[in-house]
Amino acid sequence: MSNGATVTAADIARLAAVGRAAVSNWRRRHDDFPQPVGGTAVSPTFSLAEVEAWLRGQGKLADSPVRERVWQTLRGAAYGDVELADVLAFAGAFLLYLRADRDHWRELSAAPDEKIAEALPGAVRAHTALMPDVRPADPVPLIRALSQLVDELGVAETFEFLRTRYLEHHSRRVYLTPDPVVRLMLDLGGPARTVLDPACGTGAYLGMANDLFKDVEKLLGQEIDDTTARMSAIQLALRGAPAEIHSGDSLIADAFAGRTVDLVVTNPPFNDRGWGYEQLTGDPRWEYGLPPRMESELAWLQHGLAHARPGGVVVMLMPPAVANRRSGRRVRAELLRRGALRAIIGLPPGAVPNMAVALTVWVLRRPSPGDQPPDDVLMVDTSADPTSFEKVALNAWRNYLKGKDDGTDSSVVVRIIDLLDDEVDLTPARYLPQRSAPTSEGSFTVARELLSAKTEELQRTATELSFLTQSKARDDVSMTTIGELAKAGVLDVLRGPAKVKTGEGNVPVLTFEDLAEHRDPRATAAETPDDLRLHTGDVVVSLAARYPAVRVVSEDGAILGPGLAVVRVDPSRSDPDFVAGWLLLGAQGARLRSATSSARFDVRRCRLPRLPLDGQAELGRAFRKLSTLQTTLRETYEAGTNALRLGLEELATGTLRPSDRTE
């Protein structure tokens, strides 16, 4: 096993089951903590062997070092992140061989490394056709490491561990549909013996279908990325699933043309302008009308119906605009007239992370010959039920199949004739009753209790500031600027591109509005080479002098939006909260000095004191407490405003009235 494996601070935190801040703290406080062996000042790397020995000596080793060694050995066998997926696919192919012929490997593993490297490709190909063309130059250290981890976890679990770590490593590049949404969609369409996912990605739907459906006979999948398709095929094969996975573009080069299944379920690409409109104009799949050039989603829906057997079900995740775009109204109307569309279910915001809008689930059924077309459609809106949306949606669907119309606030059965107007708007919320009528514990009551809780939280936050005591101003501290520290290499000042095209892709974008309103990123964008990705500990600051705002980033991966700058600190030399506090102070001063609305805050000219790291950490803690006060004040104000609005509305409608105890 390789002794040259390296780990990052995040890897060390995982080994010790702590946060990254604890690792930074150990580096500052323990002189014997291993020194970096590579990386950069901002993102150093350490020897895994040295870190493992230190953690074990301190009694802090929580996770299996074997797992970390295998992962780092796998990463070391790739020349970069692009090849990492190919090396993972190679590891999976080896695991398939190991699963099929463990005795042969025991015999081969006793041979010299040169003989193993020579014999391995043929041995693996004898058991699987999934061996990738790109393989490590020296595969023996990796396969010996894999064999050791198999002894600890098992074959399928070893690949699942590596695959999960790979997906975490590429969490902002690989789009994952959350398990609750996958389960809901399969429950809506199942049970099924044959399942197709024409945009299968990492295989989430097919893998869960194999677990949920008892009598699965065939799982079919197609994925445009060859390496991802191979990884999905390996994962399913190691789990013993009856899967057939192909790579390629399902719309342009359908791998399963002419084949039908019980259930088609997928999360297809959205807003894809290159889906093949020109090439596929006369395609026989467009039974319900030619999808407009800008409506790739309607092409995917009809692709699914073309692969559903008569009576088969199609369940697809869709952006909400598909329900009401004017360009797609003819296709929507035909889906209704011919009885193919059965339900549209709106999901809560955030049910699918990194999406700027709340998505919807479309449920369709391919009509059988002689069927009487249905005369209604189920509309469900689960936006008010973020913690129980699965249950709400499934109950509504099952009652609808039984012929029941509960007429709840979350669902309604709508006559098709009432939908066939000039717009053919299929947005569920449009047909549902208003939610203003409260239950026995009404909206105002909930809002009032939230306001009370926020008021108490504000009081606690203010009390916690008692550690700040008055003292005389100090004039013996030397001052510097952000620009001088950047020249000295203590930190970096970075700016993203002047423009980020949002509304496409799945990578979150931190915008000026997000920073100013203290909220998580809402917009998304497609990944480009010009992106500036944010890292944990980065300090983001607004460049608009009129709107001072600063945030210490707590999660890797978002793209920096226009009008913002990043001060990237080395935590071994600068405390992020300390830097953030002085930046906010400087930004507020710039606001007072700004003469025009377009004035800019010069980050590099921001002044701050020269202090040792422990002195910075002490002030950083105080700045962080004040930032918490700012957040609590804003949340308390919002809770009060909401309680006031609901009180006025419910008094006006009569759903709120004074009790006998009110004077």
**pLDDT tens, residue by residue, 19-43:** 777 788 888 888 889 888 887 776 7
Q: How far apart are CA 245 and CA 196, in angstroms?
A: 10
User: Is the pLDDT at 377 greater than 90, yes or no?
Assistant: yes
Half-sphere exposure of 173 (CA within 13 A, CB side): 14
Q: How confident is the model at residue 86 (pLDDT cuts 50, 70, 90)?
A: confident
Residue range 274-280: average pLDDT?
89
User: CA 339, CA 333: separation in Å to the nearest integer?
Assistant: 10
Domain CATH for 359: 3.40.50.150
Per the domain annotation, does 458 fall within a domain? no
Q: Higher-confidence residue: 304 or 8?
A: 304
- Would you state the pLDDT for residue 595? 54
As a whole number of angstroms, the distance between CA 105 and CA 150 comes to: 12
Residue predicted with more confidence, 436 or 646: 646
The pLDDT assigned to 62 comes to 64
pLDDT at residue 315 above 90? yes
Scored b (16 or more CB within 10 A) or e, 133-164 reads eebbeebbbbbbbbbebbeebebbebbbbbbe
User: Of 82-91, 109-118, 307-316, where does mean pLDDT reach its minimum?
Assistant: 82-91
Q: Which stretch of 153-157, 199-203, 204-208 has the lowest confidence by average pLDDT?
A: 153-157
Could you give the CA distance from residue 107 to residue 115 in angstroms, rounded to a whole number?
12
What per-residue confidence (pLDDT) applies to 76?
A: 66
What's the whole-number mean pLDDT along residues 269-294?
90
Check residue 255 and give its pLDDT: 95
Pair 329, 188 in one domain = yes
pLDDT digits (tens, 9 = 90+) for 630-642: 888 888 888 888 8
Same domain, 190 and 74: no
Residue 554 in domain: yes
- When divided into structural domains, the chain yields a total of 4
Say whether both 553 and 600 belong to one domain: yes
Backbone angles phi, psi at 317, to 5 degrees: -85, 130
Q: Which helix (H) or strand (E) holds 559?
A: strand 559-560
Q: How many whole angstroms separate alpha carbon 130 and alpha carbon 416?
A: 48
Under DSSP, is residue 344 helix (H, G, I), strand (E, B) or coil?
strand
Residue range 209-228, pLDDT digits in tens:
999 998 899 999 999 988 78
DSSP 359-395: -EEEEEEPPPTTPPPPSEEEEEE-TT-TTTHHHHHHH
Encoding tokens for residue 310? 């008569």
pLDDT in tens, 513-540: 888 777 778 778 777 777 788 888 899 9
Q: Is the per-residue pLDDT at 662 higher than 50? A: no
Lowest mean pLDDT: which of 61-70, 300-309, 432-441, 453-462?
432-441
Give yes or no for residue 259 having a pLDDT over 50: yes
Q: Residue 234: inside a domain, yes or no?
A: yes
Predicted local confidence at residue 594, as pLDDT: 61
44 versus 175: the higher-pLDDT residue is: 44
Q: Read off the pLDDT of each residue in 55-72 and give the average, rounded to a whole number.
A: 73
Residue at 194: amino acid letter:
T
Please state the separation of Cα 273 from the chain's center in Å.
Answer: 23
* Strand, helix or coil for residue 611: coil
| Mean pLDDT across 198-217 | 91
Among 566, 593, 610, identify where a domain stops: 610
Identify which has the larger pLDDT, 290 or 472. 290
Predicted local confidence at residue 434, as pLDDT: 57
How far apart CA 493 and CA 487 sit, in angstroms, is 10
What pLDDT score does 438 carry? 40
**Same domain, yes or no, for 158 and 95?**
yes
Q: Domain ends where: 174, 192, 221?
A: 174
Residues 22 and 8 in one domain: yes
Kindly report, residue by residue over 399-430, the tens digit of the pLDDT: 999 887 666 678 899 999 999 988 899 999 88
All residues at 6 or more sequence positions from 412 whose CB lies less than 8 Å from its CB, including other chains: 378, 379, 405, 431, 432, 433
Query: Percentage of residues in the chain with pLDDT exceeding 70?
Result: 89
Confidence of residue 376 (pLDDT cuts 50, 70, 90): very high
Quickly count: other Cβ atoms within 10 Å of residue 449's Cβ.
13
Asked, for residue 424, whether it belongs to a domain, the answer is yes
pLDDT tens figures, 107-119: 888 888 888 888 8
Any domain includes 621? no
10 and 70 assigned to the same domain: no
- Tell me how far apart the alpha carbons of residues 284 and 301 are, in angstroms, rounded to a whole number: 14
Q: What is the reported pLDDT for 571? A: 83
Domain boundary among 174, 195, 224: 174
Cα separation, 417 vs 486, whole angstroms = 67
pLDDT of residue 199: 94
SS3 assignment, position 218: strand
Determine the Cα–Cα distance for residues 247 and 224; give it in Å rounded to an integer: 5
Percent of the chain at pLDDT above 90? 26
462 in any annotated domain: no
pLDDT given for residue 1 in this prediction: 40
562 within a domain of the structure (yes/no): yes
Same domain, 235 and 322: yes
Q: Are residues 388 and 496 in the same domain?
A: no
Do the Cβ atoms of 301 and 362 come closer than 8 Å?
A: yes
List all residues 6 or more positions away from 531 whose beta carbon is below 8 Å from its beta carbon: 496, 497, 500, 507, 525, 559, 560
Q: Tell me which residue range forms the domain holding 18.
A: 1-53
The CATH number of whichever domain residue 510 belongs to comes to 3.90.220.20
Same domain? For 242 and 342 the reply is yes
Distance, in Å, from the CA atom of 564 to the CA atom of 586, rounded to the nearest integer, reads 15
Nearest to 545 by CA among 598, 581, 496, 583: 598
Q: Are residues 264 and 157 in the same domain?
A: no
For residues 496-505, b (16+ Cβ closer than 10 Å) or e, as one string?
A: beeebebeeb
Mean pLDDT of all residues belonging to the chain: 83
Residue 95 within a domain: yes
Cα–Cα distance measured from residue 172 to residue 555, given in angstroms and rounded to the nearest whole number:
11
Q: Under a CB-based contact definition with an 8 Å cutoff, are residues 647 and 655 in contact?
A: no
Q: Which of 66-70, 436-440, 540-544 has the lowest mean pLDDT?
A: 436-440
For residues 322 and 214, membership in a common domain is answered with yes
Q: Is the pLDDT of residue 169 over 70?
A: no
pLDDT tens sequence across 535-572: 888 999 988 777 788 888 877 778 888 888 899 988 88
Q: Is the pLDDT of residue 208 over 60?
A: yes
Q: Greatest CA separation found in the chain?
A: 92
CB 48 within 8 A of CB 70: no
Confidence tier at 284 by pLDDT (50, 70, 90): very high
Residues 86 and 13 in one domain: no
Reduced 3-state DSSP string for 440-497: CCCHHHHHHHHHHHHHHHHHHHHHHHHHCCCCCCCCCCCEEEHHHHHHCCCEEEEECC
Determine the pLDDT at residue 663: 43
d(CA 525, CA 506): 6
What's the chain's Rg over C-alpha atoms? Answer: 29
Measured CA to CA, the distance from residue 519 to residue 511 in angstroms comes to 10
